[in-house]
Structure 1
Amino acid sequence: MPDLVERNQLIEANLPLVGYIARKEHAAANHLPLEDLAGAGALALVKAADTFDPSRGVPFGAYARQLITFAIKEEMRSMDWATRGVRQRIKKVTEMREQLSASLGRTVTAEEISDTLGMALDEVQDALQSTSKVIDLEGSAAYQVHAVVALPEESAVMSDRRDVLQRALDALPERMRVIVQGVYIEERPVKDIAEELGVTHGAISQQRGEAIRLLRDAMEKFHLDSDAEPTSTLSPATRRDYLARVAKSRYASAD
């Protein structure tokens, strides 16, 4: 961690980066307050300055950019109103609109989309009106390209993040690991996972939420080297045992 003078210099020198990233992300969701996104990014910049370790060989700008971008996207996600079902309906409607427009060579009407999909007209109209207000955090082409084609100085940060995340996932209690893999990696319906495990839909949601909190705690500790307050609601002993499993896996591989 840099001393106080160096820390403040890093923050002041990189404040324009916060504004740049906030404006870029805001362009895809201009119904959200730019000030809120910039505020989340500024807090992430301070966190980056507090946790920066130059011995890792990663430039501060690349390290800060990762944290700022993640924080702003998390802020956008927290302010986004759309449920997964709403997103799926919007995606289905917009894809059909593009397909019909391409085949007919003209702009299609909501009625034509409704007839083709067999979807109620009011649902189609709502979906079309909502397209500009839904944040596509994972599916946008720009985000996918950035995730795959990292700048050279960012590759070490991304590689470390992927490594920690995989080890944190592997260290989860078995049921939590099955749920996270089923929902987020295999994209299976929660109903199917609940039936397979013999539990209720609510139990799956509860376990999934706790698993995400454990993963977040592991990322804070082993990727960001942060002593942030734990988000997990499990007992301190259970959380400590989990983090110990992550640490054992991570540091054993370095021997």
Structure 2
Amino acid sequence: MYKPDIGVTPEDRVHQFAPLVKRIAYHFMTKVPASVDVEDLIQVGLIGLMEAAHNFDASQGAQFETYASQRIRGAMLDFLREADWMPRNTRRNLRTIEATIQRMEQRLGRPATELEIAGEMNLPLADYQQMLDDARGYQLIYYEDYEDEGEHSQLDRFAADTEANPFHALDDADFRKHLKQGIDMLPEREKLVMALYYEQELNLKEIGEVLAVTESRVCQLHSQAIARLRGQLTDWLPANPGRKRKAKGSN
């Protein structure tokens, strides 16, 4: 039988769960453009935590941490709706990287190295890595992949609407199969970054400590891994130029 926390005040909960705000904020940072300041996320997350602490009804039997996590994320998402999103030129650069990687790996029959990709794009390695670094917020699936060309909010990528098309794709058995194969084909370091971030839920700083690299380098590796995977999953990303979603049962 559930027993409410007798005598626990909202202030007690805010003090106890303040580290949760910081952890959620840092975990968000790979999912948002570099223009978003983590301290801003922490501040709005703390506001969400305070609201959760004052509104929580322990008699309902829910765990406060679960309730607070939802409110903290909600506060951060509300803030992000007002934030500046990834510039169009950055988005175009990412599409170019994605297409270049796909073309090269089909030709080479193996993952292309950063130096090879930079060479294919006629860029110095440092410039290519800066493009990757600027690509924080690059995701495997976007809502706009399932929309017509035009003005659409990039914030939709964060929505928890399980009825949305991108999540239908993730539930598709063939998609999951190809995604697993794609991850298995990633270079070891990129594969490790994906595992540490999505399975172990480490933040950028923690992953950097594991790999003995900077947070910026972790962002680069994450962005490049996403570009490789998007290139390998072309049949499920219909809005990219020249692509059509593979119909179930087609060859």
TM-score (ref. length: structure 1)? 0.42
Q: Which has the larger radius of gyration?
A: 1
Q: Please report the TM-score for the alignment, with normalisation by the length of structure 2.
A: 0.42
* Higher RCO (CA < 8 A, seq sep 6+): 2
